[in-house]
Amino acid sequence: NEGKLWGGRFAGGPAPELEALSRSTHFDWRLTPYDLAGSHAHANVLRAAGLLSDSDAAELHRGLDALGERYAAGTLLPDPSDEDVHGALERLLLEEVGPEIGGRLRAGRSRNDQVATLFKAFLRDHAAAVAGQVLDLVDALATQARGHLAPEAPSIMPGRTHLQHAQPVLLAHHLLAHAWPLLRDVDRLRDWDARVAAESPYGSGALAGSSLGLDPEAVAAELGFTGSSANSIDGTAARDFVAEFAFVTAMIGVDVSRLAEEVILWSTREFDFVTLHDSWSTGSSIMPQKKNPDIAELARGKAGRLIGNLSGVMATLKALPLAYNRDLQEDKEPVFDSVDTLEVLLPAFTGMVATLTFNVERMAELAPQGFSLATDVAEWLVREGVPFRVAHEVAGACVRRCEELGVELHELSDEQFAQISPHLTPGVRDVLTAEGSVASRNGRGGTSPDRVGEQLVELTTVVASH
């Protein structure tokens, strides 16, 4: 059992099949910098508790630094006999500083409190990185929105419900409707971080805490946490921080996939709303004419993968008794994958959004079609004093008449309007343009150019506060 973390009570080494099953270094090696930081902090509390001499502590810090440098240089590698990153680093530390000094570091800690803490620290760093990338995407959406909010001619598009033409909206309004949920995702990451930061499990030991007088709060502070676990069993067993992180990353994937789906639709010949930049789209190996929205499709597909990672974590956690169980080793790969997925997806997706060219003429032409101004007729009648129930009927009758004649609402003559209802005087024409329609929706949150301008300022202020 040379080099193992246990051995005293075992007569023989583990079977190779067990080692193969047990090994996690191929995925947990990336926790190395966090493990080393934890060890530095642990050496400090051991020394503070009088369990390490100053010179032994200094030698441990030197050895840990040496391992850190080798890791950064890419030359620190686990051995096939190492079970996990924690065991491997202890073996390597012993090689570095000798068994006499190196063997003192494990006092009062367990891989159970180590891994819970290091995993949190790792995810906190990546939550910050992902939040930054989501903010870049929000920024790209805001920039596109700003570019389509020219005071003379803000771009108008068909707004949809049920994918059917509903009411005209500003393109900027629509784009910002994708930005706000992404901002909430950034808030979710921040909220998550504050909750996770409050509880460093280091010092929880295997499950019951330590008898050696070590100070968990000091370790927490050194590792950038705001507090330590109030309950050592909870500290080592809880993984709701993993599940919540997996949820927020899945939510980001889902939010991005909604825009992805629209970009895919908009770039079809039938919609023809957007042109993808050549550098942010792909061709076909056989069809020379093809220009494909691969980034958007990959975004749509990867949302499924992120949801799968969340489901996997939840399934692992379900019904696990307290405290640490080896099942928990399964908590890492799904969220490592979620992090890797988003960190490669988001920059590509942002590039695609930033370089989209909108076919604003076509969008504007389609905006008033499909009787999307029928609500404007009804609301105009309401402003003329007609009860909405009646107004709705009258506007519906206008649509029926248009369908019979094969025309749009604004193409009805004054006489035809008057025949449908005496309330429909020529003044109704004021609202029978997409411009008039959007201008009239001027309550807070509405699609009028002034309101969308305010909204953009509001969004930018929120972004700046992050």
CB 83 → ligand ARG: shortest distance, Å? 7
CB 440 → ligand ARG: shortest distance, Å? 59
Residues 6+ apart with CB under 8 A from 15: none
* String marking each residue 383-422 x if it binds ligand ARG according to CB under 6 A: ----------------------------------------
Reported as type and span, the H/E element at residue 235 is helix 232-237
Decide whether 6 or 388 has the Cβ nearer to ligand ARG: 6
- Whole-angstrom Cα distance, residue 54 to residue 424? 92
172 closest CA partner among 365, 443, 450: 450
- As beta bridge partners, residue 159 has 167
Decide whether 117 or 329 has the Cβ nearer to ligand ARG: 329
80 closest CA partner among 11, 12, 3: 3
* String marking each residue 27-56 x if it binds ligand ARG according to CB under 6 A: -x----------------------------
- Whole-angstrom Cα distance, residue 286 to residue 227? 59
- From the candidates 26, 55, 162, 211, which is the catalytic residue? 162
Phi, psi of 247 (to 5 degrees): -65, -50
- Whole-angstrom Cα distance, residue 64 to residue 58? 10
What b/e string do you get for 276-309 counting C-beta neighbours within 10 Å, with b at 16 or more? Answer: beeebbeeeeeeeeeeebbbbbbbbebbebbbeb
For the record, the structure tokens of 368 come out as: 């008033």
User: 56, 59, 82, 84: which one contacts ligand ARG (CB under 6 A)?
Assistant: 84
What distances in angstroms separate CA 45 from CA 36, 52, 68, 227, one per listed residue?
14, 9, 20, 15
Decide whether 328 or 402 has the Cβ nearer to ligand ARG: 328
**163: helix, coil or strand?**
coil
Are 203 and 30 contacting, i.e. CB atoms less than 8 angstroms apart? no
Stretch that binds ligand ARG, among 144-152, 176-184, 323-331, 389-397 (CB under 6 A): 323-331
DSSP string, 5-34: S--TT-SSPPPHHHHHHH--HHHHGGGHHH
For the record, the structure tokens of 391 come out as: 């107004």
Stretch that binds ligand ARG, among 138-146, 250-258, 320-328, 380-388 (CB under 6 A): 320-328
CB 353 → ligand ARG: shortest distance, Å? 37
Are 99 and 217 contacting, i.e. CB atoms less than 8 angstroms apart? no
Asked if 335 interacts with ligand ARG (CB under 6 A), we say no
* String marking each residue 273-312 x if it binds ligand ARG according to CB under 6 A: ----------------------------------------
User: 25, 32, 44, 112: which one contacts ligand ARG (CB under 6 A)?
Assistant: 112
Stretch that binds ligand ARG, among 147-155, 321-329, 387-395, 405-413 (CB under 6 A): 321-329
User: 247, 280, 324, 371: which one contacts ligand ARG (CB under 6 A)?
Assistant: 324
* Residue reference for tokens 């995810």: 123
**165: helix, coil or strand?**
strand
CB 19 → ligand ARG: shortest distance, Å? 13
How many chain residues touch ligand ARG (CB under 6 A)?
A: 10
Position 403, amino acid: E
Decide whether 237 or 367 has the Cβ nearer to ligand ARG: 237
Decide whether 112 or 437 has the Cβ nearer to ligand ARG: 112
CB 236 → ligand ARG: shortest distance, Å? 9
Residues 6+ apart with CB under 8 A from 237: 207, 320, 322, 323, 324, 325, 328
Asked if 25 interacts with ligand ARG (CB under 6 A), we say no
Decide whether 26 or 326 has the Cβ nearer to ligand ARG: 326
- From the candidates 22, 53, 277, 284, which is the catalytic residue? 284
**425: helix, coil or strand?**
coil
Decide whether 87 or 159 has the Cβ nearer to ligand ARG: 87
User: 329, 447, 448, 455: which one contacts ligand ARG (CB under 6 A)?
Assistant: 329
Asked if 91 interacts with ligand ARG (CB under 6 A), we say no
The verdict on whether 284 is a catalytic residue reads yes
CB 29 → ligand ARG: shortest distance, Å? 11
The verdict on whether 372 is a catalytic residue reads no
CB 360 → ligand ARG: shortest distance, Å? 53
Decide whether 162 or 326 has the Cβ nearer to ligand ARG: 326
Which residues are catalytic, by number?
162, 284
* Residue numbers at the binding site for ligand ARG (CB under 6 A): 24, 28, 84, 111-112, 115, 324, 326, 328-329
